[in-house]
Amino acid sequence: MKVLKFGGTSVGSSKNINNVINILENTSKNSAVACVVSAVGGITDKLLLAGKKAQNKEADFTDVFNTIKQTHIAIVNELIPENNEAVIAYVETQLSALKNLLDGIFLINELSPKTSDKLVSFGELLSSFIIAETIKSRGLSAERKNSQELVITNANFTKAEVNYKITNKNIQDYFKAASQKITILPGFVSKSVNGEQTTLGRGGSDFTAAIIAAALKVEQLEIWTDVSGMFTTNPKMVKQAYPISEISYQEAMELSHFGAKVLYPPTVQPVLNLEIPIHIKNTLEPNAIGTIISNKATNGANPVKGISNIGNIALLTLEGSGMVGIPGFSKRLFETLSQEKINIILITQASSEHSICLGIEAKDAILAKEAIDATFENEIALNKIEPIVVEEHLSIVALVGDNMKNHQGISGKMFSALGKNNINIRAIAQGASEKNISVVIAETDVKKALNVLHEQFFESKTKQLNVFITGVGNVGERLVEQIKQQRKYLKENLKINLRIAGLSNSRKMIFNDNGLDLKNWKDQLKNGEQASLQGFFEKTKALNLRNSIFVDVTANKDVANLYAHYLRESIAVVACNKIACSSTFSNYKELKRLSLKYNAPFLFETNVGAGLPVIDTLNNLVASGDKIKSIQAVLSGSLNFVFNNFNDTTKFYDVVKQAAAEGYTEPDPRIDLSGVDVARKILILARESGVEMNLEDIKNTSFLSEAGLKSDTVDDFYKTLIDDEAHYQALFASAKAHNCQLKYVAKFDNGNASVSLQEIPVGHPFYNLEGSDNIVMFYTERYPKQPMIIKGAGAGADVTASGLFADIIRLANN
Ligand code: ADP
Ligand code: ASP
Ligand code: MG
């Protein structure tokens, strides 16, 4: 004898029922089959909905009834297209009994647990009848047996307890006498010893099948559902989840108890002692191997077997100094809850015994609070304990694995992975058996938590980064294109799954929590929603994706002002915008502090030398214990371009105009020519070397003419360049006379910084600097005479974008 159970989706349509019948036909070739079926998918919920509506005197309960009716009639007509009158007639009698019951509920506006059981039983009674008749109509040897005549329970309606003695005998007697090859039985439904209709609890068809398998001592129980086994975590929440091929009874029980709906928790009980393995299979993909639950499951390298979650949890906290001395305190607490039939899902108690925390279903919270407050009325009045505190909108997330007890540091890893992603843990429970570590977190964090933990324990090899880019001008556009081009390489070679989840320019913004399709991102952006800086932040925060990175590719002060907001949400910030790091020292320090506190890196390599690894190198020197003595650098691509092209055959005005035209200067060229931009860069290097400094502390000796310095507008400024050509030619002539080149040099020495135009002699490393190149020389304790030199293109969209890209990839190792 074989026992198979098919769930709601498996019998949810005529097409799926045909799959079921194929499976049954194959299985019954070499063995008799007992087949337990659920109600047609979604019908139990609809029955309850109709019942609730009728109870509330909502006349449209009849609409719900009509859909239930149509669903069943349509399935019969599809499965048995001809000569189906008798079947339809029986189904209609059942449906009219159902309608009478609903009318009754409407009339008395009451839906007791007892009536509710009567109501939901129609689902399985109908599906099992239709399936059995279909099989018979195809000439196979089949009968329907009503499990209500076999499975006998107490009168605990909606979740009755089985009387195994009577039930086992019923099942054994029935199957001993049965001669058909295939027996179809409704799951979930049962009767009390007194003959009242009862049910085994939501999801209970699995349990029915296990009861039959155990009574008949079969070799294996097959649970056929809509996924290919028990997954590492709920596949509807985590795309990367995958089926577990073998798992122990304990682990399966723990996972299902903590929310893995694929198996109804009590299902394991009846088969456990008899060591009957449970095989979970997919009706929609019968060839997938599925999951075997047994006590022979081997433990692979990973001590964590799965992750599950339960929603709608409330946390009750009872606190007070008086708790310590009160004898029998816990006993009274648990007795109170037990009297109210409130199920406790999780308990944690501080070792000081000053507080105790209980996780229960949210629906029981009010009742629990009233009951406990009443029990401890006296102690509360005497201020020995506080009135109970209830927190709602919580969920439990649990790691499960038999072998976790033999491994250290799993809970540490769990908490740090959650912490890094700004997921606040409200309570922690670890069973003494150490098969389970559970945390209570906000409901809104569940999807992120499952993904974070799945990545941590099951995909350690790939890391997902979710990038949100603001500013897709020249540099931003290059960055998007580079990411698009490299995604595949990063995944295959560096195990980084890099996704752009949000994009914005000053007008529009777009988001996709699965990562934007970059094929036609420009068109998508054109049709995006109205952009705003605050809106972009709010949306990024609301998506709540793990390893989120905000990338600022603007030069906008208001964007820089939002970094603190991002960091506080544990969203990393990568910026080529220099404004934040060259603002006041206190602001710079605050951002660094937030970055540390919220474990959200703040990277700005492109603030100095575009894509050249200047800041990263400096950070590595400092981190490894070196001390920066002095820095000398040419840091302005634009000024370098200007002085490389200016001589006695060109005009200063023309050269500056050309630099502007080629995009080497800021729109306002004074920012470059006044030395402010270079001053900002050396300021950032000084600060990264560990020195407290502000922009005013940097000595800036300008080479501009008096009139140039005083000019009010960009146009006025350009005019002074024409008028003061002689002033600039004099600078060139002096350098030429000394056989030198003009370079705009930034220095940091002994805690002092300066920027100025300098005459550089032949042989100096700066002398031959070409085009818009940059150069930085670090003199340190370890590099006292021969400096460490970084040199190369220091401006341009492509190199700046690749500098941003490098910062993003650095985050993968965080
Ligand atoms: P059936 O109607 O066949 O009994 P259920 O809906 O009760 O099916 O259970 C299967 C569903 O359980 C899956 O579709 C999936 O959404 C959910 N589920 C939750 N956690 C897990 C898990 N760890 N592995 C597989 N499925 C899970
Ligand atoms: N039909 C019942 C439910 O939806 C039982 C089951 O499908 O297992 O809960
Ligand atoms: Mg189920």
Task: For residue 58, name the pLDDT band (cuts at 50, 70, 90).
Answer: very high
Cα–Cα distance, 152 to 171 (Å, whole number): 10
Cβ-based neighbour number of residue 716 at 10 Å: 12
Cβ-based neighbour number of residue 174 at 10 Å: 18
Q: Which amino acid is at 4?
A: L
Strand 548-552: give its sheet, edge to edge.
Answer: 529-530, 508-511, 496-504, 463-470, 548-552, 572-575, 602-603
Mean pLDDT calculated for residue range 20-27: 96
Task: For residue 432, name the pLDDT band (cuts at 50, 70, 90).
Answer: low
Task: For residue 433, name the pLDDT band (cuts at 50, 70, 90).
Answer: confident
525-558 per-position pLDDT tens digit? 999 999 999 999 999 999 999 999 999 999 999 9
65-99 per-position pLDDT tens digit? 999 999 999 999 999 999 999 999 999 999 999 99
Give the architecture-level CATH label for domain 463-598.
3-Layer(aba) Sandwich (3.40)
- Alpha helix ranges (H) inside 34-163: 43-55, 61-79, 85-108, 113-137
CA of 524 to the centre of ligand 1 (A): 35
Cβ-based neighbour number of residue 423 at 10 Å: 23
* pLDDT at residue 772 tops 90: no
CA of 222 to the centre of ligand 3 (A): 13
CA of 68 to the centre of ligand 2 (A): 15
Cα–Cα distance, 636 to 769 (Å, whole number): 11
* pLDDT at residue 119 tops 70: yes
Measured CA distances, 202 to 110, 265, 364 (Å): 21, 11, 17
**pLDDT at residue 352 in the model:** 65
* pLDDT at residue 300 tops 90: no
* pLDDT at residue 59 tops 80: yes
DSSP string over 368-434: HHHHHHHHTHHHHHTTSSPPPEEEEEEEEEEEE-GGGGGSTTHHHHHHHHHHHTTPPP-EEEE-TT-
Q: Which ligand is nearest to the CA of 281?
A: 1
* pLDDT at residue 446 tops 90: yes
**pLDDT at residue 560 in the model:** 97
**pLDDT at residue 406 in the model:** 82
Task: For residue 663, name the pLDDT band (cuts at 50, 70, 90).
Answer: confident
**pLDDT at residue 462 in the model:** 81
Write the residue with the smallest CA distance to atom 2 of ligand 2: 203
CA of 244 to the centre of ligand 1 (A): 13
The residues assigned a catalytic role are: 681
- Nearest atom in ligand 2 to the alpha carbon of residue 124 is 1
- CATH number for the domain formed by residue range(s) 306-443: 3.30.2130.10
**pLDDT at residue 35 in the model:** 98
- Domain 614-795 falls under CATH 3.40.50.2300: no
Cα–Cα distance, 487 to 710 (Å, whole number): 50
Q: Is the CB of 12 under 6 A from ligand 2?
A: no
Tokens of 393: 């909108």
**pLDDT at residue 661 in the model:** 86
- Nearest atom in ligand 2 to the alpha carbon of residue 207 is 8
**pLDDT at residue 270 in the model:** 96
Most ligand 1 atoms within 8 A of CB, residue of 225, 233, 283, 308 to mutate:
225
Of residues 434 and 646, more confidently modeled: 646
Measured CA distances, 590 to 537, 561, 814 (Å): 19, 12, 20
- Nearest atom in ligand 1 to the alpha carbon of residue 7 is 3
- Nearest atom in ligand 1 to the alpha carbon of residue 264 is 7
- Nearest atom in ligand 2 to the alpha carbon of residue 45 is 4
Q: Where are the domains of the chain?
A: 2-218, 306-443, 463-598, 614-795
CA of 217 to the centre of ligand 2 (A): 24
- CATH number for the domain formed by residue range(s) 2-218: 3.40.1160.10
* pLDDT at residue 326 tops 80: no
CA of 284 to the centre of ligand 1 (A): 13
Cα–Cα distance, 254 to 429 (Å, whole number): 14
Q: Which ligand is nearest to the CA of 117?
A: 2
Give the closest residue to 771 by CA, choosing from 787, 793, 788, 786.
793
Mean pLDDT calculated for residue range 722-751: 96
Asked whether the beta carbons of 76 and 95 are under 8 A apart, the reply is: no
587-610 per-position pLDDT tens digit? 999 999 999 999 999 999 999 999
336-383 per-position pLDDT tens digit? 999 999 999 998 876 666 888 999 999 999 999 999 999 999 989 998
Tokens of 189: 């439904």
Q: Which amino acid is at 123?
A: G
Mean pLDDT of the chain: 94
Q: Which ligand is nearest to the CA of 225?
A: 1
Q: Is the CB of 205 under 6 A from ligand 2?
A: yes
DSSP string over 482-537: HHHHHHHHIIIII-EEEEEEEEE-SSEEEE-TT----TTHHHHHHTSEEP-HHHHH
Q: Is the CB of 604 under 6 A from ligand 2?
A: no
Q: Is the CB of 44 under 6 A from ligand 2?
A: yes
* pLDDT at residue 44 tops 70: yes
Tokens of 760: 């550089």
Collapse the DSSP code of 151 into the 3-class scheme (helix H, G, I; strand E, B; otherwise coil) and give the result. Answer: coil
- Nearest atom in ligand 2 to the alpha carbon of residue 38 is 7
Asked whether the beta carbons of 33 and 216 are under 8 A apart, the reply is: no
Q: Is the CB of 38 under 6 A from ligand 2?
A: yes
H helix count then E strand count, the chain:
29, 30
Cα–Cα distance, 399 to 410 (Å, whole number): 9
CA of 334 to the centre of ligand 1 (A): 31
% of the chain residues with pLDDT over 70: 99
Most ligand 1 atoms within 8 A of CB, residue of 234, 305, 451 to mutate:
234
Burial class, 474, CB count within 10 angstroms (exposed 0-12 / middle 13-18 / buried 19+): middle
Q: Which ligand is nearest to the CA of 39?
A: 2
Write the residue with the smallest CA distance to atom 9 of ligand 1: 262
Q: Is the CB of 718 under 6 A from ligand 2?
A: no
Mean pLDDT calculated for residue range 191-196: 98
Flag the least confident range among 132-146, 166-180, 450-464, 625-639: 450-464
Cα–Cα distance, 468 to 549 (Å, whole number): 6
**pLDDT at residue 384 in the model:** 87
**pLDDT at residue 353 in the model:** 66
